[in-house]
Structure 1
């Protein structure tokens, strides 16, 4: 009589290949074996909780956990006489919990009376594993107490002793044991195992006892090294991360990846062009949740940044003040335009600070922190000490008008004119309104060129005051003789609005 087992095995493996995608099922073509990654179904509002010493705990709502890894090999007499030989691995379950699940899988095979069982196993792990382990709405990760750290360097005499040294929900010995391998005669084993993953700079996953081995099974007390030198005498910068923190990071990253996959495969209405597109072609602003297609949001951000309006890089939705993250802006507009955005954003932030002023030197223009105790400022780039009021070289405690007045008084003394402003005004009025004889007397006393100079100087001062405005950066007086309100200072090249004296950054 022919043995039906090989045919049933092949049919079962073909069925798994057609039902599951390439991430969920990988077959070993050389033999009747393979591995399945099973994502357990979580109820709504499921949370992961990490309690740390001295803290109330950190709690996060998640929709996905790292998958369980089921590696199996089918004996020649499966399914008629023997169950599959398998290994069950998971980073967030204890070996006791994994052994309980493994025993249940064996019981499920026995209940099938010699029928194929792999799909039933996967269905059980996906739908009923949490309830079987009495995990309902919260997965509580253990705290890493001082008693744990004090034992971290001691090698346990046995796996049972290691399990007693750590909290029951996450046993993490210094030397990780091999994953639990279960078959029809599987025995209960103590210890811990972790899901096989890549060790990355994010310190997310488990490290092996050998730092040079980039892959491992078994959660360990993490001591992750990041390379900083490629010489023969290599130096390392050690970053200590507790096992619970590493596990929490792994869970949160896995959940974020899952949510992104769900978003990419869902359909959304763009809030600008109103086209229906896949999430992979859209961007969702995390601050407000509004969704726009990449093309529309890219064009919107590009226009705003090109015009120098970094404050306008916000959500295009009406009356929404949310903004895309810098990472989203960079992905949309590219490195070159993002560099401009980053620079303008820094400049806008500096200008919004009340204690920041710019160096008045044309070749410098660096941001300078003003002293609260006075009007002096010192540029750290070019070394200029200047007055924050008049933007000229620092003149001590005298006010700015006093400095101008002193200069004028010295000139008047040298020209033999009255020192007081009232006296000078009286001389000018006398010269302009007096008779020809009076003008000749004044010319003989002060000289025609001196009188002409004083009159023109005062007239210019009045005209400048009435017809010009100071540059908002260097305070140089600027005349507007036509055109629009967009002005450029000839001294510091600052572009600004004439009406409101607000700075405008010109396009690159």
Structure 2
């Protein structure tokens, strides 16, 4: 029938049988969001469509109206009967080949208006799972067809291979799986959050499980518990290799015993328990580590204190501060005394007169007295001819007029002084 063919061209989802002149059409509601009330209130963006069954009897459209049977979980019988009555009245008005299309349009308008039902939509409890599951499924279908830029690989991907986090940011599922699994493997559980630079929103636990799998998720949970316990000042990791058990000591005591490997050790020096009458033999932390400790965050500082001993770290920090202060005083004294350290053997060298090209009496290295940099033996004066250098044209800087005059007289006599 031509009317059915025309309707199918407008609604590609229309299904019909030419032999029986009957069919069905799914009509989806178009709205931004609606509140639905079960035992609790929920906001959904999608409701199950109205499935409109129809049949065109013999005598349609002149003498017989089209027969409609709308089905929808969230529309009550009263509104369904009213819709069927209104559709028959519409046929009475038209009675031509545009009737079926006009009836479908009426149903579509009612669906978009949610049948004029008051909001929140109050629905029976047994529909809760159906309504919420449909909303989730429809969201996923819509998401799968969209394109997103992954903030990890910087590639544009379809939503079907992406994951939307609880904060609404999106990234490739494969990138998230690799990143979060790596963080968990390395014990960096504090990095398991949204991957956007400006967002630190934590992941929902169910979503993390779906991304990384059960094994990594179980390890993540154990690490979380361990991190919380590590904040206890009376907890310390077992120092034995391959035993990362968290050990608890009594407040104020230095002896601790691992519940897993039974190793008894000193929490201060982390070596085998040596008794209270014998002092700790503690390794000296490197100066670079101590400098890093000063700028580290609280968690990094605790890790360093656990590894090297808090008292040990504090002792060597004071030693480092004194050493650096001594170095500053020494360098200041050298500068005031017109002394520079040889860049090759570090022997302090004082310049009493002459130009700024110096030769070390111990290792014979030539260098610039102004900046302390070694100069080339094949062309040492190139250093002061370099227009881009800080010492350009300063070879004779600081030399007295008497000495310049003396050097000029010696040069006229053919005598060259070796600096």
TM-score by length of structure 2 reads 0.54
* Alpha-carbon offset, residue 128 of structure 1: 3.2
Aligned equivalents of 2:232, 2:105: Cα separation in 1: 59
Q: What residue is the counterpart of 1:73 in the other structure?
A: 55
Pairing 1:313–2:192 present: yes
Q: What residue is the counterpart of 1:20 in the other structure?
A: 12
Q: What residue is the counterpart of 1:501 in the other structure?
A: 306
Aligned equivalents of 1:393, 1:316: Cα separation in 2: 37
The 1:118–1:309 alpha-carbon spacing in structure 2 relative to 1, beyond 3 Å, is farther
Aligned equivalents of 1:268, 1:90: Cα separation in 2: 34
Query: What does the per-residue CA deviation read over 1:212-238, in whole Å, with 9 as the maximum and x for residues that have no partner?
Result: xxxxxxxxxxxxxxxxxxxxxxxxxxx
Q: 2:91 aligns with which of 82, 86, 109?
A: 109
Q: 2:2 aligns with which of 8, 11, 19?
A: 8
SS at match of 1:15: helix
Q: What residue is the counterpart of 2:29 in the other structure?
A: 40
Query: What does the per-residue CA deviation read over 1:240-284, in whole Å, with 9 as the maximum and x for residues that have no partner?
Result: xxxx33334433332232222222222222223333332222222
The 1:29–1:351 alpha-carbon spacing in structure 2 relative to 1, beyond 3 Å, is farther
- Paired residues of 2:50 and 2:111 also in contact (CA < 8 A): no
* Alpha-carbon offset, residue 353 of structure 1: 6.8
Q: What residue is the counterpart of 2:160 in the other structure?
A: 280
Q: What residue is the counterpart of 1:134 in the other structure?
A: 116
- Paired residues of 2:26 and 2:49 also in contact (CA < 8 A): yes
Higher CA-based Rg: 2
Q: 1:124 aligns with which of 106, 123, 128?
A: 106
- Paired residues of 1:46 and 1:61 also in contact (CA < 8 A): yes
- Paired residues of 2:238 and 2:258 also in contact (CA < 8 A): no
- Paired residues of 2:194 and 2:201 also in contact (CA < 8 A): yes
Most deviating of 332-341 and 108-117:
332-341
The 1:35–1:275 alpha-carbon spacing in structure 2 relative to 1, beyond 3 Å, is same
* Alpha-carbon offset, residue 93 of structure 1: 2.0
Q: 1:246 aligns with which of 112, 126, 134?
A: 126
Structure 2 runs not aligned, ≥5 long? 260-266, 268-273, 291-300, 309-419
Pairing 1:301–2:180 present: yes
Structure 1 runs not aligned, ≥5 long? 1-6, 53-57, 142-169, 171-243, 377-386, 395-399, 401-406, 409-456, 469-479, 486-495, 504-508
Aligned equivalents of 2:303, 2:147: Cα separation in 1: 47
The 1:278–1:80 alpha-carbon spacing in structure 2 relative to 1, beyond 3 Å, is farther
Query: What does the per-residue CA deviation read over 1:398-436, in whole Å, with 9 as the maximum and x for residues that have no partner?
Result: xx9xxxxxx98xxxxxxxxxxxxxxxxxxxxxxxxxxxx
- Paired residues of 2:29 and 2:114 also in contact (CA < 8 A): no
- Paired residues of 1:273 and 1:296 also in contact (CA < 8 A): yes
* Alpha-carbon offset, residue 367 of structure 1: 7.5
Aligned equivalents of 2:25, 2:227: Cα separation in 1: 53
Aligned equivalents of 1:112, 1:262: Cα separation in 2: 38
SS at match of 1:61: strand
Aligned equivalents of 1:59, 1:393: Cα separation in 2: 51
- Paired residues of 1:265 and 1:278 also in contact (CA < 8 A): yes
The 1:333–1:393 alpha-carbon spacing in structure 2 relative to 1, beyond 3 Å, is closer
Q: 2:279 aligns with which of 454, 462, 466?
A: 462
Pairing 1:323–2:202 present: yes
Aligned equivalents of 1:67, 1:355: Cα separation in 2: 61
* Alpha-carbon offset, residue 388 of structure 1: 8.2
Q: What residue is the counterpart of 1:176 in the other structure?
A: none
Of structures 1 and 2, the one scoring higher in RCO (CA 8 A, sep 6+) is 1
* Alpha-carbon offset, residue 359 of structure 1: 9.8
* Alpha-carbon offset, residue 11 of structure 1: 1.9
RMSD value, Cα = 4.5
